Structure 1
Amino acid sequence: MTAQPSGSGQQLYYAGIAAVVIVILLALWLLVKPASEPDPDSVGENPVPARVEIIDEQPVPPALQEPAAEMAAETDSVTEPAETEPEVTLPEPAPEPLPALENSDPVLKQEVLKLNWQPGLAGLINTEQMIRNLVVTVDNLAQRQLVAKHPVVKPLDQPFVAIPAEDNQTYQLDPSGYQRYEPYIRLLENAEPAQIVGLLKQYQPLFEQAFGELGYPELSFNQRLQQALQQFLAIEPVNADTTLVRKSVAYTYADPQVEALSDLEKQVIRLGPANHQRLRVVAQKYLALLQNADL
C-alpha cells in the first residue's frame, strides 16, 4: 500500500488502520472463553433415623441413660418442619432467534454500543454491515492484504502528513502522525473481553455464515482469525528507510524493498514502533487464549 493523502488512496489508507485494529478487536470476540459456571451443588436428602424401640427390659447403665435422656429432650424440643412443596426450577427462557444476517446491524449496534466503553471510543466503530465487514477484513489480513470498501472503524480525523526534504524531491513520515492512532489502540486495550464474548456466543453463527460466503469450506472463521493474528505477529519491528517520493498524486517508498512489502507490513510502518509493540502485546495474549480455547 502506498502512502496516499486523499481520494481512493485515502480510503485504502483508512482501511489499513481499520484492518490492524479490528482484527485484534475481533480477537476479543473470539479468543476469551468465559469460565464455565460450576454445576449446582447436589444436596442429598439425609433420611431421619428411625426411632429404635428397646425391647430388652434390662436396666440401662447410668452412663448410657444420660445421653439417651439428652437425645430425647433434644428431640422433643425440635418442632418438625411443615412439609413444603419441592422447589421447582423453571427452565431458562429460550434465547430470542438471531436476526437474518442482512438485518443484524440494528440489533448488533445496540448490543455493542451499550457496553462499558470509555467515553468516545464506541463512536469509532462503523455500525453498518458490521459482521460482513469484520469477516472480510480478517480474511484479507490473513493474506497480509488490506481492503478499502469494508470499513470496520471510522476514518482517522487527521490527514496523513509527509515532511518534505530540503531538495523538495523526497519526503519523510511525520512522527507526530503516530499519535493519530491512539484512540484506536485504546479501543483495543480497554475492551471488556467478558462482555464481548457474550456477544460472540450469541452472534457466532452469523459470523460463520458471512465467512462461508467467501468460499472456504475447509476453514472456520475462528481458524481464519488465528491465521490473521499469526500474520500480524510474524511482522517484526521494522527499521526501514521510510523516505518517500511523489511521482504523481500518490506517495511511494523510495527504497524498492520497502515498496515491495505487503500492505500489512507498510501499515505497521505507519503505526510507528511504539504503537506496533502495544498491538503485539494484545495480539500475543489473545492468540494464546484462542489456541487453548475450546471454540
Structure 2
Amino acid sequence: MSEETKKSLVPHYIIAAIVLVIILAVIFWPKDAIVEPEPLVIPPVTQPLVEPTPEPEPKIEIEEPEPYVAEPVVEPVIEEPEIEEPLDTSDGAVKTKLLTLSDYDAFARLLIDESLLQRFVVMTNTLAEENLTASHRVLSNPEKPFRTFRQADRDWIDPASYKRYSPYVEVFESIQTESLIQLYQEYKPAIEQIFAEISSPRDSFEEKLADAINVLLDTPEVPVPVEVYTDSVMFKFADDQLESLSGPQKQLLRTGPENMRRIKAKLREIKDLLAL
C-alpha cells in the first residue's frame, strides 16, 4: 500500500475507532446503576471582544452671540402748547375782514375807519335803549341831502330821499350772514370786554344786540307818501304816532318802505342764526 493510500485511510480508522468505543461502552455499561451523566459542558463560544465603535459625538455648534448694540435713547418729545397769537383788534384788521364779506367796493367807502369795534358796541347799546348817537355810527352819512316835495300846502318825503340809502342796503344784503356771524364770534371776546367797560355787570351784550334788532323789527309799515313838517331845525313826522316812535325806528322809516323791508329781512336772518 502506498504512502498516499495510507494517508487517505487515516481519517476512516479514526472514525471507526470512535464508533467501536461507543458500542463497547453501551454493551458493558452497568444497567442497575443510574449515574447522572456529567453535564456536557459546552464551553461558551467566546467571540473576540469587539470594542463598540463609539458613535461620533454630535457636533454642538455654539452660536456666537451677536454683538450687543445699545439702542439709542430716544428722548420723549414734549409738545409745547401752541400759543395763540392775540387777536388783532386794530381798525385796519377789523375793516379788512369786514370787507371780505361783501362783493361791493362801496363797503370800503361807507365804513368809518376809526374805532370800529368800540363804535359797534356803543351803537348797539344805544339802539337797544331806543336812542341814536351820531358820534358812534359805524357808517358814513349819505352824500345827498334829505329831500321833500310840497303838495296841497303840505310837505311830503320825496321818494328820491329813499334812494340815498340804496347803497347801504345793497352792501348789507350782499354780506353772507353765516360769514358775518363767524366774524362776530371771532371778535366776541373783545366786544364783550368793551361792553363791560360801558355797561352794568348785570347786562349781557347779546341781550342788548337782541333788543337792538327787535327795536328795528318793530318799526311799523306805513303807506307812502309820508307827510312831514319842519320846525325850522329838522323835519318831523306829521302823524303823531309816527313821531312818537323811537329815534332808531324813525330813522329806519326814512329809508323808505322797500329798503326797510330788505333791511328787516336781513336782520331776521342774523337773529335766527344767533338764536337771539
TM-score (norm 1): 0.60
Rounded Cα–Cα distance in structure 2 between residues aligned with 1:115 and 1:266: 28
The answer to whether 1:131 aligns with 2:117 is yes
Q: 1:252 maps to which residue?
A: 236
Instruction: Report the counterpart of residue 139 of structure 2 in structure 1.
Output: 153
The answer as to whether partners of 2:219 and 2:253 remain within 8 angstroms in 1 is no
Q: Is the 8 A contact 2:228 2:238 kept in 1?
A: yes
Deviations 1:142-166 (A, max 9, x none): 1221111112011101111111235
Matches within 5 A, 1:97-246: 97-99=86-88, 104-167=90-153, 170-239=154-223, 242-246=226-230
Q: Superposed, which structure 2 residues align to 1:32-71 within 5 Å? A: none
CA contact (8 A) 2:156 2:225 kept: no
Unpaired runs of at least 5, structure 1: 1-87
Equivalent residue number for residue 281 of structure 1: 265
- Aligned CA distance change for structure 1 residues 113 and 284 (closer, same or farther; 3 Å): closer
Tell me the CA shift for residue 181 of structure 1: 1.0
Q: Radius of gyration: which is bigger?
A: 2
Structure 2 match to 1:14: none
Equivalences, count: 199
Q: Does 1:94 align with 2:90?
A: no
Q: Structure 1, residues 95-147: CA drift from partner, whole Å, max 9, x if none?
A: 31135x6xx22332333335553232232111211011101111111122111
Query: 1:247 & 1:200 partners in 2: Cα distance?
Result: 41
Distance 1:214 1:240 in 2: 39
Listed one character per residue, the Cα deviations across residues 236-284 of structure 1 (whole Å, up to 9, x for unaligned) are 3124873222231322223333322211221122111111111121112
Contact 1:156 1:180 survives alignment (8 Å): yes
**Contact between 1:241 and 1:258, CA under 8 Å: does it hold in 2?**
no
Letter paired with 2:124: V
1:268–1:148: structure 2 CA closer, same or farther, 3 Å change rule? same
Q: Which ranges of structure 2 fall in alignment gaps of 5 or more residues?
A: 1-76
Structure 1 residues 289 and 161: alpha-carbon distance in aligned structure 2, compared to 1, 3 A threshold: same
Give the SS at the match of 1:252.
Answer: strand
- How much has 1:93 moved relative to structure 2? 4.7
For 2:136, what is the secondary structure of its paired residue? coil
Fraction of identical pairs, as percent = 31
Q: 1:91 to 1:272 in 2, by over 3 A?
A: farther
How far apart are the structure 1 equivalents of 2:200 and 2:100? Answer: 33
More relative contact order, 1 or 2 (CA 8 Å, 6+ apart) = 1
Q: Distance in 1 between matches of 2:258 and 2:80?
A: 51
